[in-house]
Chains A and B, each alone.
Chain A
Amino acid sequence: MVSIGVWINAFLTLCILSFLYKDNPFFRFAESLFAGMSLGYYIGLANQQTLMPNLFMPLFRDFSGSVVLLIPMALGILLYFRYIPRIAWMARLALAVYIGYYIGVMFLQKLHGEVLPQSRDTILQLRGIAGIDVLWNAVFIAGVISVLLYFYFSAEHKGVLGKVSRVGIWFLMISFGASFGYTIMARISLLMGRFSFLVNDWIRPLMGAS
């Protein structure tokens, strides 16, 4: 016995997959349903998992101890001021605080978490190790330096800089190729998951197979 939930799931999966042929009413129906339901779901999610536990409940339980929460609340309300033309400019204050805060946080995170360790890990040993390791270390170093020089914007890519940055582009393209293949394999496994659902949870029980 196939449950109604599996039927709906299978029908919507086929509706979405029908886009592979061409745009059609079934795809439009599934697309609109998907977009609409997800929007409603995320509104509920934002209320249940963000606003209630992080803002409303602490304020109701212990207002004096949570008074600092009124600041982000005020910033959130400011965003809606854009619908009042006379004071619409105030919405930008909230955006400015949000952007400024995250840029400050991200700057140090990137510096500490990426720039320093990646620079350190590029300083590799070129002697006293096996010949093949020397070769790979040299390739690694050449890759990092040439790619960094490709992203140097203060000079025209001519002469030596042009040649080195050309090598950088080759390194980038090779890494893109590897990344492309790797990600496509991951997507294929997602597709297999969908087909597995259609065959094992829908078609096989429908045909009486266990």
Chain B
Amino acid sequence: MKTPLLFILAAAAVVLASQAPAPAVLAGEIQGLRAFDSPGDGGESVTLEWEGGPSTLVSIMRSESSGGPFEEVGTTIGTDGAYEDYVEEGRPYYYRLSYRIGDQDYVTAPVGPVAARSNWFRSYRLNALVLAVLMFSLVIYYINAAKRGKDLYIRRISGISAIDEAVGRATEMGKKIIYIPGIMSISDIQTIASLSILSHVAKQTAVYGADIEVPNKDPLTFTAARETVKQAYMEAGRPDQFREDMVTYITYDQFAYAAAVSGKMVRERPATNFLIGYFFAESLILAETGQSTGAIQIAGTAAPTQLPFFVTTCDYTLMGEELYAASAYLSKEPILLGSIKAQDIAKALIIVTILVGIVAYFFGSTVIRNLLASR
């Protein structure tokens, strides 16, 4: 009889205790501070997270022992609820937060020890990996298809027809062609695409016997451009017509280069100017000067800030991806054709993903949006 009574009393005590009001939490008070090794990084940071927090600045205090001394390593707005502290890999640290609400100062209990460790895989970049694997698979598939002789259709771009016409015009007028491959190094994909188009233009000049000059700003692009033109003349069966001074080096300074090429345009009055590659502020100087000399101008760039200048001053402009498509179209290289085809498939997939994501978001689901998150 005694045991059930004691049990009932104990149970009642537990129930009453659980229903007792929790200690009041002050508005803005920081709760549940935790520190952990930032996931998926190279062992360079520790992440702090907490609930609550004031809308004013919170000091992030760090120490190598739980008893201190703690020193301030950063500040953040308390309501952010998180802070990433960059630390030495493998060294254990303790953290606490110091903040003020009204006239009262508060300090949290220290948490730790926590040390930053290197991780093998950045799990939050899984989406980029999946997309990269998908892209590579598509590119390899279509390159192989192109090599097997499958007809990969790429629509004709208006600027491409103009390239052959422009070379023909220069031949008829007996004037030279100036080809500017942008001002970036060959590490830039636009420069590589430009060299591919240069190869086609140089073959045409070799066949027609027209004169071409390629002034360069970047030393590596200069080397590659000279190789490209030389190779083009060999492939056209006119290696004797190639001269080293067809591809020249001017200077590495952007505006000195622009001044020198502008002077060349005004003095030599070329029949055709090609401005194809990556350009910066010199684009308008070059294109405007070329336009004033009456030359037919064909431009191509994927630099969004420079495209307006080319559109307004040049006869034909290859915009953005048209530049890459043009190089594939002209060269008929299976590698380039396969790449363009794969990119088209990827674009179609992205459009479908965006549309599905919009519909899902409309109905309250953020799954697709979250899948595309990157950091």
Contacts and interface: CB of A to CB of B under 8 A. Distances in A.
Do they bind each other? yes
Q: Which secondary structure characterizes the binding site on chain B?
A: helix
A108 B227 CA distance: 28
A145 B192 contact: no
Given A126-B362, A148-B351, A152-B344, A35 B260 contact: yes
A159 interface: no
Contact of B223 (A34, A38, A79): A79
Given A119-B354, A153-B155, 16 more contacts: A16-B259, A23-B266, A32-B260, A35-B250, A39-B256, A99-B187, A113-B374, A116-B127, A116-B128, A116-B374, A148-B350, A148-B351, A151-B322, A179-B304, A180-B308, A183-B309
Interface string A154-194: 11110000000000000011011101100100010000000
Which 7 pairs show the lowest CB-CB distances between chains A and B? A38-B253, A102-B187, A120-B372, A180-B308, A123-B357, A176-B308, A42-B252
- Which of B341, B344, B354, B357 is packed against the most chain A CB atoms within 10 Å? B354
B354 A145 contact: yes
A19 B289 CA distance: 10
Interface residues of A, number: 65
B186 to A, nearest CB: 6
Contacts of A60: none
- Which of A16, A35, A156 is packed against the most chain B CB atoms within 10 Å? A35
A136 interface: no
B223 A95 contact: yes
Interface in A189-210: none
Given A107-B132, A120-B373, A39 B344 contact: no
Interface in B103-159: 125, 127-128, 131-132, 135, 152-155, 157
Q: How large is the interface on B (under 10, 10 to 19, 20 to 34, 35 or more residues)?
A: 35 or more
B251 A35 contact: yes
- Which of A19, A141, A154 is packed against the most chain B CB atoms within 10 Å? A154
Contacts of A37: 256
Interface of B: 125, 127-128, 131-132, 135, 152-155, 157, 186-189, 192, 220, 223-224, 227, 250-253, 255-257, 259-260, 262-263, 266-267, 281, 284, 304-305, 307-309, 311-312, 319-322, 325, 340-341, 344, 347-348, 350-351, 353-355, 357-358, 361-362, 368-369, 372-374
B155 A117 contact: no
Given A115-B131, A145-B351, A123 B227 contact: no
A145 to B, nearest CB: 6
Given A39-B252, A117-B374, A120-B369, A152 B348 contact: yes
A116 B131 contact: yes
A123 B223 contact: no
Interface string A119-144: 11011111100000000000001001
A41 interface: yes
A95 B186 contact: yes
Contacts of A180: 308-309, 312
Contacts of B132: 107-108, 111
A100 B281 CA distance: 28
Given A124-B361, A148-B351, A152-B347, A99 B192 contact: yes
A153 B155 CA distance: 5
A124 B256 contact: no
Contacts of A101: 187
A37 B260 CA distance: 12
